[in-house]
Structure formats: structure tokens, C-alpha cells
């Protein structure tokens, strides 16, 4: 039945191959647990108590709550499918609630550390160095996501108004202002890009060494290389988005404005950055409040 279930997800639900592999791994793990502890119980016959025992064993093995909750999503989906097909009489995971997860605050780079990286002058005629710096400046200077940077075209950039047009999640469009130095950097880069590829440059802003559209691994490599000297754990493009939001709030930006700049649906998604800024807020309070 698992194969039938996975085929259903693939052909009818149109789940991605990545999600399907994840679901299959989760179900294989449960089957291994059943084979070791309840060899005569197929996955279709597993009850609430057995699955609870499996969840406890996962937790005791040190697996993160977020990962366990994802496995519960897989099981809910499986048993809902089996229930609909009449294979099971009830859903054994219907009464399970997700485990509480600890909220990790977004990491960000200290302002001076980032300035030290961005203020380095690349070789004047080195296109790849100029591009790499632009990648960093775009991610930090606009807070856009990795996917949004990759999809950004030259036609989305308004150098007269110093702004860029971004198509975000759920095809929601937003306009992001850019600083004049970044606008100048973009203008010089586009000129160099057209020169490097004899006027036949790709319409997308960021291109590969061969002039084709950029891709996630390429951007990730650039960011990791540029952030080598920093103490940050995860040297990823998303760190620059976190840093953008944190630095704006530390300098007094309105929370709602930052929400719109980031393309967040709700204010709750943006509020997590206020925790990172708490130290600065306390400092302002101590300096400004009469009773402090």
C-alpha cells in the first residue's frame, strides 16, 4: 500500500521528488521499527500506542522536534489515504499533536564585519569579482530571497527611481528601494556584463561565468566564499536577508515597513527580528527614558 500511496502523491497530488523521497524515508523508518519490535504488525495495522512508542524512540535518539513533527505529517497523510481507501477503520495519528519546538532566533552578521567584506575593492577589470560583490550587495541591500535574486532581470531594475521590482512567494509583486551606491554598482556591472559577453548577455541580472542564468548552488558558493572570515555558523544567502532586517530594525525602521520590504504575509514572521534588536532597544531606553 505504501507504493500505491506514494504513486498517489506523485501523480495526483503532484508532490515534488524531494518531498516524495522524504515521505518514503519516513515510512521506511516506521517499517524498520515495526520489523524490529512488532514483526507481525504491518504498517496498516499499527495503532496509536505503537506509533506513540515510535515517536518516543525518535525523541530519545536525539532527533529534533521539527523533524519528528514532519514525520507526523507523513503519517497523517498516509492514514488519511488508507482511511479513504477503506484499508483502515480509523486514523491512529488523528489525536497526536505536534511536539513543541524551540524557536531559534535568526542569525545575523555584525554591521562592521559585513562592511569589512563589502568595502573591499575588486579588481577593476575582473567581471567575476564584480559579480560576486554585487551578489552580496543585492542580498544585503534589498533583503531579497535567493530565488528572487536568481529570477531578477535587468528589466526589473529602475535606475532612475533607484528601485527593483521583485516577484515573491505566491506571485506577489513588491517594489524595493535601493541605495544610490548599489544603483551605481548595478549600472557598472551591467555595462561590464554586456562587454564581457559581447552584447549578448543574458536578460537576468546575475549570470554565471559563461553568461547563462545563475542557479542556487552558484549563489550559495559565492556567499560562502565571501563570508569565510565571519564567525557566523551557517554562511548562506538567507543570513544576509536576516542581517538586512535586523540592521534596519536596529536603526529604527518601522516594523510594518520591514514586513513589506521582506514580502512577509504576516507581521508575526517579521517580529522574530525584534528579538535580535533587543540589546539596541534597551540601550536606547537606558539613554532616553527619565526613569532609566
Enzyme catalytic residues? 145, 169, 238, 241, 264, 273
Classify residue 171 by its DSSP letter.
G
Euclidean distance between CA atoms 239 and 245, whole angstroms: 10
Residues 176 and 142 sit within 8 Å (Cβ to Cβ): yes
Query: What does the chain come to in residues?
Result: 292
- Picking from 189, 228, 227, 181, the residue whose alpha carbon sits closest to that of residue 205 is 189
- Picking from 217, 281, 274, the residue whose alpha carbon sits closest to that of residue 245 is 274
Question: Residue 175 is inside which H or E element, if any?
Answer: strand 173-177
Euclidean distance between CA atoms 151 and 146, whole angstroms: 9
Euclidean distance between CA atoms 282 and 94, whole angstroms: 45
Amino acid at each position: 500500500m505504501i507504493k500505491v500511496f506514494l504513486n498517489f502523491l506523485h501523480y495526483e497530488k503532484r508532490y515534488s521528488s524531494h518531498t516524495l523521497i522524504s515521505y518514503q524515508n519516513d515510512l521506511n523508518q516506521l517499517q524498520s521499527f515495526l520489523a524490529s519490535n512488532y514483526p507481525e504488525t504491518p504498517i496498516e495495522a499499527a495503532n496509536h500506542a505503537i506509533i506513540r512508542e515510535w515517536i518516543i524512540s525518535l525523541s530519545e535518539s536525539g532527533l529534533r522536534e521539527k523533524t519528528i513533527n514532519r514525520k507526523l505529517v507523513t503519517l497523517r497523510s498516509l492514514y488519511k489515504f488508507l482511511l479513504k481507501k477503506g484499508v483502515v477503520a480509523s486514523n491512529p495519528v488523528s489525536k497526536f499533536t505536534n511536539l513543541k519546538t524551540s524557536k531559534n532566533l535568526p542569525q545575523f552578521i555584525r554591521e562592521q564585519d559585513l562592511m569589512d567584506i563589502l568595502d573591499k575593492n575588486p579588481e577593476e577589470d575582473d567581471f567575476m569579482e564584480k559579480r560576486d560583490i554585487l551578489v552580496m550587495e543585492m542580498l544585503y541591500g534589498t533583503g531579497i530571497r535567493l530565488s528572487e535574486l536568481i529570477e531578477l532581470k535587468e528589466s526589473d531594475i529602475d535606475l532612475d527611481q533607484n528601485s527593483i521590482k521583485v516577484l515573491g512567494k505566491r506571485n506577489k509583486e513588491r517594489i524595493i528601494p535601493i541605495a544610490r551606491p548599489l544603483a551605481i554598482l548595478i549600472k557598472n556591472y551591467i555595462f561590464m556584463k554586456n562587454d564581457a559577453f559581447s552584447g549578448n548577455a543574458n536578460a537576468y541580472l546575475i549570470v554565471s561565468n559563461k553568461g547563462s542564468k545563475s542557479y542556487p548552488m552558484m549563489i550559495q558558493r559565492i556567499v560562502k566564499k565571501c563570508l569565510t572570515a565571519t564567525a557566523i555558523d551557517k554562511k548562506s544567502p538567507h543570513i544576509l536577508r536576516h542581517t538586512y532586517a535586523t540592521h534596519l530594525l536596529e536603526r529604527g525602521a518601522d516594523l510594518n515597513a520591514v514586513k513589506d520590504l521582506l514580502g512577509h504575509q504576516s507581521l508575526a514572521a517579521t517580529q522574530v527580528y525584534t528579538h535580535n534588536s533587543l540589546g539596541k532597544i534597551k540601550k536606547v531606553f537606558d539613554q532616553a527614558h527619565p526613569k532609566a
